[in-house]
Structure 1
Amino acid sequence: MSASTAKPAGVYAHLLPPSWKRKIAEWLQEDCPSFDWGGFVVGEDTKRATLFCKSEGCLAGVPFFDEVFRQLDCTVTWHYNEGDWLGSSDGSAVKIAVATVTGASRKILLGERVALNTLARCSGIATASARFLAKARTAGYTGIVAGTRKTTPGFRDVEKYGMLVGGVDMHRYDLSSMVMLKDNHIWSTGSVTNAVHAARSACGFSLKIDVEVQSYDEAVEAITAGADVVMLDNMDGDTLISNATRLKAEFAGKHKFLLESSGGIDIDNVQQGGHVDNAIDIISTSSIHQSTKHVDFSLKIDPSS
């Protein structure tokens, strides 16, 4: 694995909504709701602290780390760029000085845990994303790899941001970003066609409609009804590839649509037959952000500073 696996991340901070800085203020307040006893001990002397990376991974979450310390009147100097791969490719132990934080002792320590937790989680997701994408590409897959909306409430910006830095697609960001019609929507309206027509009557031309289907016949119905994306959900190996190939052939030149494969896909099985086939336009997975291992960072004050 190398830094070139991930997309260059330099301007992703520009995507963040106006609300993201308020969230960081709330996180700081949550972590210190009353007296800061440890801060009283160390005082206001200006110190330097080094951010160390102690495990291999993709650096992601720089804007969040920076904002924590900006709100605490500290400065951060980075020695690596967001999206860089930190550590050795053989997975051996590493300890890399990634950044320097300068400010009052108590303020460095006040922001330490919020900043580290956010950076570690975001970098972990970017790392898992980059690894998953690399494995899919090695298997010959040329389509889109996407994360899902199974994110942590209140932490979605960080987790979706990590996917971007890791090089994968975020899929829909929230319920307002794209219409996704799953089994409950279809059962509630009586049919795939009813669900698609009801959705189109409200969302108009500007939003795509993604329909989860359980069979070939449901996929045909979804495409005929006007779905933009058809999710072939939890289909096994040969059935998935056979259905995808057949649908592309049957509707060639008649309807424009994308085929999505979802359900139980992770880094351990993505190279197996049944998941990687270029008749499938999108592989969506929650494995890159649920139960994902963090990248290990620590922040150490230089006693001589």
Structure 2
Amino acid sequence: MTDALSLPPLPRLLVEPVVRAALLEDLGRAGDLTTDSIVPAQARFSGVIAARQAGVIAGTDAAALAFALLDPEVAVSIARPDSSQVAPGETVMHLSGPARAILSAERVALNLLCRLSGVATATASLVEAARAHGPARIVCTRKTTPGLRALEKRAVRAGGGSNHRFGLDDAVLIKDNHVAVAGGVGPAIRRARAGTGHLVKIEVEVDTLAQLEEALAEGADAVLLDNMAPDALRRAVAMIDGRAISEASGRITRETAGAVAASGVDLISAGWITHSAAIIDLGLDVA
């Protein structure tokens, strides 16, 4: 698992628009009617966000920012930084300051923290399942929650995984429909190379060993071995023989990750660690 101290925070410039939009959505047109009518303006609050189930933490910066945006006087102390494993009952962060701000930001902070910790925990489970069988790294995909991609991809790193491309503009990934339109793997790779800069990597998805042979002949930088059984993956890795990065993809679960990793692929990509990860239950309690 990633060392908590080695995972740099995202720039606030990236995180703040997401948190601000979530707060605006929750506060609506009139603010927090419940808190503002019940809690005196001068009231203070001291509490903790604690784990109610085991997991891996991610998103503490976003959660802390939710409180700070409502009132910079809210003091936040992180007890368990991102990538930390927590057990039920462990404190993740301490909070103190104006009660209204803490109570009004509570749901947004927890939504982000629980969601991102769920992504980190799902990733960690897949990393653990593959680790004993081969050196393959677990990578995410673009199947992320709209608006949360940067945060969810960082949560993948908090869980010990690595990131695939962040968007359509940072690498070429030739999929089956691109191949169909181009008239084959070879023409698709040649067109991609002609249409992009010399620093742009080209990966191509292949379904068969014949397509793989064509991709290797064209000098693809990486090949995505889609929905191949472990035996086919082993043959594919042998064919590649270090000439390209090998990536296995296609409904890979905790139960199948070991066999996939044992094939010798370099990467295992999984969409579910972002799009279907269950949240980790965390809650705010009065200290």
Evaluate the alpha carbon distance shift between residue 173 and residue 17 of structure 1 in structure 2; reply closer, same or farther with a 3 A threshold: farther
| TM-score normalised per structure 2 | 0.93
Q: Which residue of 2 aligns with 1:9?
A: 4
Q: Distance in 2 between matches of 1:178 and 1:18?
A: 23
Note if contact 1:264-1:285 (Cα within 8 Å) is conserved in structure 2: yes
The farther-off stretch of 156-165 and 281-290 is 281-290
Q: Distance in 1 between matches of 2:226 and 2:11?
A: 31
Q: Which residue among 33, 36, 45 is the counterpart of 1:37? A: 33
- Number of matched pairs: 282
Structure 2 counterpart SS, 1:271: helix
Note if contact 1:39-1:110 (Cα within 8 Å) is conserved in structure 2: yes
| TM-score normalised per structure 1 | 0.87
Q: Distance in 1 between matches of 2:245 and 2:2?
A: 23
Structure 2 counterpart SS, 1:82: coil
Letter in 1 for 2:52: K
Q: Which structure shows the bigger proportion of residues in helix conformation? A: 2
Q: Which residue of 1 aligns with 2:258?
A: 271
Matches within 5 A, 1:203-242: 203-242=196-235
Letter in 1 for 2:282: F
1:197 lines up with 2:195 in the alignment: no
1:132 lines up with 2:117 in the alignment: no
Q: Distance in 2 between matches of 1:86 and 1:277?
A: 29
The structural deviation recorded for 1:17 is 6.8
The structural deviation recorded for 1:43 is 2.8
Evaluate the alpha carbon distance shift between residue 266 and residue 190 of structure 1 in structure 2; reply closer, same or farther with a 3 A threshold: same
Structure 2 counterpart SS, 1:211: strand
Consecutive aligned runs of 4 or more in structure 1 exceeding 3 Å deviation: 9-17
Q: Distance in 2 between matches of 1:119 and 1:202?
A: 41
Note if contact 2:145-2:274 (Cα within 8 Å) is conserved in structure 1: no
Q: Distance in 1 between matches of 2:129 and 2:47?
A: 36
Q: Which residue of 1 aligns with 2:80?
A: 80
Q: Which residue among 124, 133, 149 is the counterpart of 2:142? A: 149
Cα distance per residue 1:213-251 (max 9 Å; x no partner): 111111111121121001111112212222222332xxx
Note if contact 2:248-2:268 (Cα within 8 Å) is conserved in structure 1: yes
Note if contact 1:16-1:157 (Cα within 8 Å) is conserved in structure 2: no
Cα distance per residue 1:241-263 (max 9 Å; x no partner): 22222332xxx6xxx31111110
Note if contact 1:13-1:63 (Cα within 8 Å) is conserved in structure 2: no
